Structure 1
Amino acid sequence: MINDSVLAIILGGGQGSRLYPLTQKRSKPAVPIAGKYRLVDIPISNCINSDIKRMFVLTQFNSASLNRHIKNTYHFSFFSSAFVDVLAAEQTIGSEEWFQGTADAVRQSMHHFLSHDFEYALILSGDQLYQMDFNDMIERHKKSGAEISIATLPVNAKDATSFGILKTDDNSMISSFIEKPNTEALQGWESVVSEEMFKDGRHYLASMGIYIFNKDLLVKLMDEPDTVDFGKEIIPQSIDKYKTFSYQYEGYWTDIGNIDSFFEANLGLTDDIPQFNLYDSHKRIYTNARILPTSKITGTLLYKAVIADGCIIHADKIERSVIGIRSRIGKESVVINCYMMGSDDYESLKFIDDNNIEIYMGIGERCFIKNAILDKNSRIGDDVVIDGSKHHEDVETDSYVIRDQIVVVKKGATIASGTII
């Protein structure tokens, strides 16, 4: 079943500098998460679970791997109107510029959207972790008679300073907006929230960057070329002119746009009851259906570990870590507080001999790795020590970056045996 009244537009973001070096060779939506998924799988899966199966993903930087992932993953019936298409920035007669912001990306792509019939445009971010039933938001949008709906998250005063905060009336209609207010400016910006949220001190409504626009209004707004961003311009300027509804969401949601939040979101999956539930059969997260063997683990103490398919592990201990597909970890190694993304392929013994490879993909023997992200296809030699918790200054080298006491080994990088970071 397909909801033919809704067209989903997923914003892939710009260069993704806050997630560098994970975005050095790939676009932000293509960054691997949770050991086997990609960031773009989250909004796409939420759409599929909500019967919204016509989706565009807008991007302009390093989009080759994203194109490949979507092409290999999302196949619908030949007789269905369902699709997931990637739209990269392109020069047209109307514009020779790259996307200047989120609204400009939609504006430049409007001719693609308008070739489809729809009543509502669902605009989503490509760098958030959450599970939402968009059908409920769409129905509330219709019943309210709104022209724009914004998904909002109740937050406390401390967190409110990091978001755009919306003020609503008793009917959940948005009356005003303030961008990242300081603590003093928050006075008077409380909104009506549920009793549970109120008791938890979450009195303020933060914009989640998830919008519904009536088609006619979106077309009208996109005819105004001076506005380039939804959060900074379109939404604040529209509140006084158009009926704007606040859809309150009380589930788990996090913006994983920087290294620290990305790291914590992944390690949070190792909790006994993680806030982001990958095990809900009604809210599945879809991804490329790789044909991989089961993981093989020998003599390893596992504590709060998430292990993806196809791994070969001989480590002494893995603690509070996510180990991605096809990962290899050698004997006597210890891995703590790490996200290891894994590898794209296996290296056969013949390939290793033919190419004189001395350091294999994965983690070698007798290594100690803590507070680190190991990007895809990285090679860690024997007797390597990587401990992000001992670094208080940000550093960048050819093979790794240190951000917020997290060591990020770059994609395909090699760390020589005996190295101490």
Structure 2
Amino acid sequence: MKNSLLGVIDATSYYQSLEDLLLHRSMAALPIAGRYRLIDFVLSNMVNSDIGSVAIFPKFQYRSLMDHLGSGKNWDLNRKRDGLFFFPAPGLDAVDDGVGSFNHFAHHLDYFHRSRQEYALISNCYTVCNINYRPVLERHAMIGCDITEIRHKGKSLEMYVVKTSLLTELIEGREESGYTCMKDVVEDMDSGYKVCGYEHIGFVETVDCIEKYYQTSMKLLDVSSWKELFKKELPIYTKVKDEPPARYTSGASVKNSIIANGCYIEGKVRNSTMFRAVKVGKNTSISNSIIMQKSQIGDNCVLENVILDKDVRIEDGVKLIGEPGHPIVIRKGMIQGALMNS
């Protein structure tokens, strides 16, 4: 059943709790695990499952997402036939109908009519997992399901396998049926469709709030969780950037942390994630924190339970201590000085 699945990624989701991190990017482009974006997981899963045509449906702040994905080269999706497609929502005031909005799909119905794949896989953009969709499709076809919903511990992952022809019927008949998305169809006991469940076993985290983003990042510092998510046989791809190796001075100390390329560490880092080109000053202590790309932390600072977005500057002598599980969030490009903190 190779090349019989069409990939559809809903990148329109927005959660108010993540607002501080979504002012300049969409949820799909939210950085995680030192060098990845949320969308890398579902997109890599699709590519590893022999899906060669992937359509991404974004709505808000998707410039950074397009910059990250580019032509799809890093996922082997820069092809003459099929490949990677972007279909932005036609209006920013569009109603949030849920994952896989039929109203959004309707504006690009030609894409579904022209597709050569018999089946479609519809997925959200914010579930961190490593799943092979081929067994899902094989079971879907063998049992004769109309819709297969992928679940984890009984909870929906908002990932659905459906015949492309049935998907187009649902889109075209949305006004008559009242269905706005796949979830509506699955939850309607009187829909007349055969809905099946597929239980996925493995590492799964749904990032839909600051607390879940922070908890997921902390879990990925655990070696067993990391190995469960990042598998050699099913690699997670991302945009490749050429950076020099991280540098550590004689006074640096790093334990149980993810340190990306280009970092310069002079202080102490514990149980934290450092994205590319982060600088940590002398006598500075950072623990249980997430520091995004190109942020600069001065000398003699203390940061605990903190999330710094990209390009944040922390001046010398600043002390920021959040509560465990409820981190302090500093927005992109902000400057935090000792006087501001007093």
TM-score (norm 2): 0.91
Percent of pairs with identical residues: 25
CA shift at 1:73, angstroms? Answer: 5.1
Identify the match of residue 162 of structure 2 among 213, 234, 240.
213
What are the superposed Cα offsets for residues 232-263 of structure 1, whole Å, 9 maximum, x if unpaired?
A: x2211266411111111111111111000001
Residue 413 (structure 1) aligns with: 334
CA-based RMSD? 2.2
CA shift at 1:216, angstroms? Answer: 2.0
Look up the SS of the partner of 2:109 in the other structure.
helix
Residue 302 (structure 2) aligns with: 368
Q: How does 1:22-61 map onto structure 2 within 5 Å?
A: 22-61=21-60
What are the superposed Cα offsets for residues 178-211 of structure 1, whole Å, 9 maximum, x if unpaired?
A: xxxxxxxxxxxxxxxxxxxxxxxxxxx2211110
**Which amino acid in structure 1 is aligned with residue 49 of structure 2?**
S
Alignment check: 8 A CA contact 2:123 2:160 kept: yes
What are the superposed Cα offsets for residues 66-112 of structure 1, whole Å, 9 maximum, x if unpaired?
A: 11111165354766534222211126xxxx97354232333333222
Alignment check: 8 A CA contact 2:304 2:321 kept: yes
Determine if the alignment matches structure 1 residue 228 to structure 2 residue 162.
Answer: no
Q: Which runs of 5+ in 1 are unaligned?
A: 155-204, 344-360, 391-403
> Structure 2: how far apart are the matches of 1:208 and 1:333?
40
Determine if the alignment matches structure 1 residue 249 to structure 2 residue 200.
Answer: yes
> Structure 2: how far apart are the matches of 1:272 and 1:78?
33
Residue 184 (structure 1) aligns with: none
Determine if the alignment matches structure 1 residue 380 to structure 2 residue 314.
Answer: yes
Relative to 1, partners in 2 of residues 1:110 and 1:72: Cα closer, same or farther, differing over 3 Å? closer
> Structure 2: how far apart are the matches of 1:79 and 1:375?
34
**Which amino acid in structure 2 is aligned with residue 30 of structure 1?**
A
> Structure 2: how far apart are the matches of 1:218 and 1:97?
24
Alignment check: 8 A CA contact 1:269 1:276 kept: no
Relative to 1, partners in 2 of residues 1:239 and 1:413: Cα closer, same or farther, differing over 3 Å? farther
Determine if the alignment matches structure 1 residue 266 to structure 2 residue 200.
Answer: no
Determine if the alignment matches structure 1 residue 280 to structure 2 residue 231.
Answer: yes
Relative to 1, partners in 2 of residues 1:267 and 1:10: Cα closer, same or farther, differing over 3 Å? same
CA shift at 1:291, angstroms? Answer: 0.8
Alignment check: 8 A CA contact 1:100 1:228 kept: no
Q: Which runs of 5+ in 2 are unaligned?
A: none
More deviation in 98-107 or 301-310? 98-107
Look up the SS of the partner of 2:45 in the other structure.
helix
TM-score (norm 1): 0.75
> Structure 2: how far apart are the matches of 1:97 and 1:363?
38
Residue 292 (structure 1) aligns with: 243
CA shift at 1:120, angstroms? Answer: 0.6
CA shift at 1:363, angstroms? Answer: 0.6
> Structure 1: how far apart are the matches of 2:202 and 2:189?
27
Alignment check: 8 A CA contact 1:89 1:99 kept: no
CA shift at 1:417, angstroms? Answer: 3.4
> Structure 2: how far apart are the matches of 1:409 and 1:78?
36
What are the superposed Cα offsets for residues 38-58 of structure 1, whole Å, 9 maximum, x if unpaired?
A: 111111111111111211111
Residue 259 (structure 2) aligns with: 307
Q: How does 1:4-19 map onto structure 2 within 5 Å?
A: 4-19=3-18
Relative to 1, partners in 2 of residues 1:14 and 1:301: Cα closer, same or farther, differing over 3 Å? same
* 4+ runs deviating over 6 angstroms: none
> Structure 2: how far apart are the matches of 1:276 and 1:126?
21
Alignment check: 8 A CA contact 1:383 1:419 kept: no
Relative to 1, partners in 2 of residues 1:271 and 1:79: Cα closer, same or farther, differing over 3 Å? closer
Q: How many residues align?
A: 334
> Structure 1: how far apart are the matches of 2:79 and 2:206?
36
Relative to 1, partners in 2 of residues 1:79 and 1:410: Cα closer, same or farther, differing over 3 Å? closer
> Structure 2: how far apart are the matches of 1:269 and 1:253?
11
Alignment check: 8 A CA contact 1:73 1:287 kept: no
> Structure 1: how far apart are the matches of 2:79 and 2:11?
28
Look up the SS of the partner of 1:282 in the other structure.
coil
Residue 62 (structure 1) aligns with: 61
Residue 346 (structure 1) aligns with: none
> Structure 2: how far apart are the matches of 1:221 and 1:371?
45
Look up the SS of the partner of 1:20 in the other structure.
helix
Look up the SS of the partner of 2:185 in the other structure.
helix
CA shift at 1:275, angstroms? Answer: 5.1
Determine if the alignment matches structure 1 residue 138 to structure 2 residue 137.
Answer: yes
Alignment check: 8 A CA contact 1:333 1:368 kept: yes
More deviation in 33-42 or 107-116? 107-116
**Which amino acid in structure 1 is aligned with residue 256 of structure 2?**
K
Q: Give the greater-gyration-radius structure (CA).
A: 1
> Structure 1: how far apart are the matches of 2:142 and 2:23?
44
